Chains A and B, each alone.
Chain A
Amino acid sequence: MHIPDGFLSPQTYLPAAALALGAWAWAARGLRERLDETLLPRLAMLTALAYGLGLVMLPLPGGTSGHALGVALLALVFGLRLAFLAYSGVLLLQALLFGAGGLTALPVNALALGLVGGATAIALHRLLRRCNETAAVAVAAWCSVVVPGALVALVLGLQPLIARRPDGAPLFFPFGAEITLPAVLIPHAFIGVGEAALTLLVWRYARMRKWLS
């Protein structure tokens, strides 16, 4: 789901970079406000877990592969601002070390996966926890994969409309949303199930240790 370099037009990644810079500053202020000696080791550990999850590739139907994100567990344990900041760091490392996602696409990836993914998880958890806490965590985690997936697919699918050559050929990503949406969403619906199970496991542990924010 991480968008590589060269897939997005400047008309997409430059406004996203401006938006992401503001969001990172907002998130950094959140970290500064909550900075204490017990928070940081936990945040480091779960950030490392999210980073590790990104390295475990699961084969998916159709010959492609995918991996869990870990953004829901960060968001449910630490809140949106810290989750967004930590997950942006994970995306940066994945881009620099593994070429998984590009640097020009980092703002879009961070906004979609870190901010929208985290916000989706928190909003759905708050909405559903009165009914059933376990189900709320599971649904929140599943949607934290699928909703950013839909956003990434839409951003990719819009590229042929945004930037074209004079002959009409796309300058950047060549497939439209009618192709990208099913191509991204179907595999991520499966990944979301694994993400939900894992998030539930970590969230229960965090609740037991009274780590939840």
Chain B
Amino acid sequence: MKAWLILLLLWACAAEAHEVGHRIEAAQAVVVTLSYANGEPFAYEKYALYPDGQETPAQVGNTDAAGRVAFVPGATQKWRLQATSADGHGVNLEFAAPATAAVAATTRPTAPERWQLAALGLALIFGVFGLVQLYSRKRKTP
């Protein structure tokens, strides 16, 4: 009987080792939101998040329905996020985690608006072709 009790105890200890514990707490996370150019979220796609200079990802998974990747940066400041969809869309984004990881909902984007970039591109196209035109005129002028 004693032997059976010891065996049962050992089995119980071993069984406990297979459990996955959990802890729920509030923490300040960095949230990276990915979207297609038309604003549709880059939802449910695979991603891998690497600390700067490392080849082993610190976090892998799928973006959520809103195309978000959330992580707690800890002491690591620089990160690389690689997110891919099977049709070849995706990003390979290197970024610094904000000094305070709190996500400010009212942060204003500092990047130029899409229409400004589109206008810049058009200006560059016509500008470059205009220069080629001038160059070709000069060459033909005796």
Seen from chain A, the residues whose Cβ lies within 8 Å of a Cβ on chain B are 1-7, 31, 35-37, 40-41, 43-44, 47-48, 51-52, 55, 57-59, 63-65, 67, 89-90, 93-94, 97-100, 102, 152-153, 156, 165, 173-175, 179-180, 183-184, 187
Contacts and interface: CB of A to CB of B under 8 A. Distances in A.
Given A37-B136, A44-B130, A89-B125, A102 B92 contact: yes
Contact of B40 (A4, A47, A65, A153): A65
A40 B129 contact: yes
Contacts of A1: 88
Contacts of A94: 121
Contacts of A153: 87-88
B84 A7 contact: yes
B87 A180 contact: yes
Contacts of A37: 133, 136-137
Nearest to B133: A40
A64 B125 contact: no
Contact of B126 (A3, A35, A44, A180): A44
Contacts, number: 104
Contact of A51 (B38, B41, B125, B137): B125
A166 B38 CA distance: 39
Interface in B111-127: 114, 117-118, 120-122, 124-126
B121 A93 contact: yes
Contact of A89 (B87, B91, B128): B128
A1 B88 CA distance: 6
Is the interface on chain B under 10, 10 to 19, 20 to 34, or 35 or more residues?
Answer: 20 to 34
Contact of B37 (A65, A179, A187): A65
B14 interface: no
Contacts of A180: 86-88
A67 B38 CA distance: 10
A55 B89 CA distance: 15
Contacts of B55: 165
B86 A183 contact: yes
Counting chain A CB atoms within 10 Å of each CB, the highest count among B40, B84, B130 belongs to B84
B36 A97 contact: no
Contacts of A5: 92
A37 B130 CA distance: 10
Contacts of A97: 117-118, 120-121
B100 to A, nearest CB: 26
B43 interface: yes
B7 interface: no
A63 B89 CA distance: 12
B16 to A, nearest CB: 30
A56 B132 CA distance: 28
Nearest to A97: B117
A174 B46 contact: yes
Contact of B87 (A51, A59, A184): A184
Contact of B118 (A36, A41, A52, A99): A52
